Amino acid sequence: MGLRNPYRIAIKPGTGNHYPQFGEPGTIFVGDVGNGGWEEINVVDTAGLNFGWPLFEGLYWEWNFFLAGSPPHPQALNPLYGDAGCGQEYLTFQDLMALPRPSGEIFHPNPCNPSIAIPDSLPVWEQRMPAVIWSNSQWNPPIRTETMVFHEQGYPIGLSIDDSLSTVEGEIFGGFSSLAGVFYNGDKFPEIYRGKYFGVDFSGWIKVFDFDENYQLKSITPFHLFAKDIIHLAANPANGALYYINLQGDIRKISYGGNPPPVAVIEADRYYGAGPLTIQFSGAASSDDMPISHYHWDFGDGSSSNDSQPVHTYNASPNMPLGYTVTLTVTDSFGLTDHAEKIIGLNNTPPTVQISSIHNGDRFPSETSLVIDLKANVQDNESPDDSLSYEWRTFLQHNVHYHPDPPIFEKNLPADQRHCLRRRRLLVSDRTLRNRPTGTFQYQYKKYLSQLRRRAGSGLAATESQTLIR
């Protein structure tokens, strides 16, 4: 108990028993998603552990919950109740949990008389601290990575892994959500990876965590830093390879050795305007583990360039809206390539979007369901209304992160497609309008714009968002 959101777990191979009647599942490594402060890896090597949430997040008190107090434990009758004015009939969960001490001796003081211990016959716990924590890069900067040590006065504190006193090798890092990972026992990677724990974070990294036989962390090394939106990692016992799936549903295989391809990135000082339209392009943000040897730009109008930062002018007849797809292909010294695309709008202006059925700050009741209409007013100077198409997206806001719902391709939703809110906070956010070469438009959540980069069109966008709160 005491885990906030154990989104993924991994069982260490060679531990436990697969027969349920023995009650020995093995040693479990838990990726516990934090509340916006700290991400954790927790090791469950015995039954009955308590990892501290909601009183603790990471290695630190969660003060909002601490000050609010914890509820009484219905099976923990206070043995001092009724004696010497003790009016607390049941002990709280906080009373029953104690922090670890260097000596290993744990004392649970009775709240009615701190000199008297709560008997071990009641459900008491020694809080189990995480094996490692890292800060949420967005909500708890700066980035930090810590493990537990004991203060000279005997209570647990966090120690940065880059501290001279740390016994853990590695560089500090942050992330968004700890998603556990997998133990690698295949033979497609070098021997140094055999039996190691590959941990995952939703921010896109995979790291190798090396634990000793007592599950004490020894080192953390980077393995993959560009697994964008990764949500699950698994090992294939048939071929010894690692595979991961991302939020978009792509399944990717990780192979060891060889030469990874470069990553192409297009930057520009503008993406639309009246013709003639002169644009400064740049491929300088493209990256590789070795120097990029060749850049090739296809501007979509029959022109090209091999400069890394070319200037190009688009020409067209006045008042004639056009869309061009510019493509950058980068090549490394071993001949591997990658390409990126951006859409340029010529003689075109962005549309205007206004969500009309809800407004920022509108509230919905928490005790009942609510059906709302999602409607928008959209105008575009270059396209008639009947040529427009739309994609509505709604996002459930949970604490400080969001859960997307499936898109709905309508401008004004009919009754059977209205969105139902059920006692939770829902974010109706970031409707981005895209101009297509046929004059059609589409709403799309801006986080996923990269999914549309291969579609031709002028690419002009307008964004509108509104928030409903409980």
The answer to whether 197 and 185 are in contact (CB under 8 A) is no
pLDDT value of residue 457: 35
CA distance 358 to 467: 8
pLDDT value of residue 382: 76
Q: What is the pLDDT of residues 385-407, one digit of tens each?
A: 666 667 777 777 665 556 666 66
State the Rg of the chain over Cα: 28
pLDDT value of residue 187: 87
- From 152, 145, 180, select the one nearest 166 (Cα to Cα): 145
Residue with tokens 């007592």: 214
The answer to whether 355 and 376 are in contact (CB under 8 A) is yes
Residue with tokens 């990575």: 145
Report the relative pairing of strands 311-314 and 56-57 from DSSP bridges.
unpaired
pLDDT value of residue 355: 79
Q: What is the pLDDT of residues 405-441, one digit of tens each?
A: 666 665 544 444 444 433 333 333 333 333 322 222 2
Using the Cα atoms of residue 187, residue 192, residue 194 and residue 198 in order, give the sign of their dihedral: negative
Q: Determine whether 396 is exposed, middle or buried from the number of CB atoms within 10 Å of its CB (0-12, 13-18, 19+).
A: middle
pLDDT value of residue 257: 75
The answer to whether 31 and 9 are in contact (CB under 8 A) is yes
Peptide bond into 142 cis (omega under 30): yes
List, for the chain, all residue ranges whose pLDDT scores fall below the cut of 50: 412-457
- From 233, 202, 206, select the one nearest 32 (Cα to Cα): 202
Instruction: Give the architecture-level CATH label for domain 267-346.
Output: Sandwich (2.60)
Residue 123 CA: distances (Å) to CA of 76, 95, 208, 422: 7, 10, 36, 36
- From 261, 411, 275, 409, select the one nearest 340 (Cα to Cα): 261
Longest alpha-carbon distance in the chain: 94
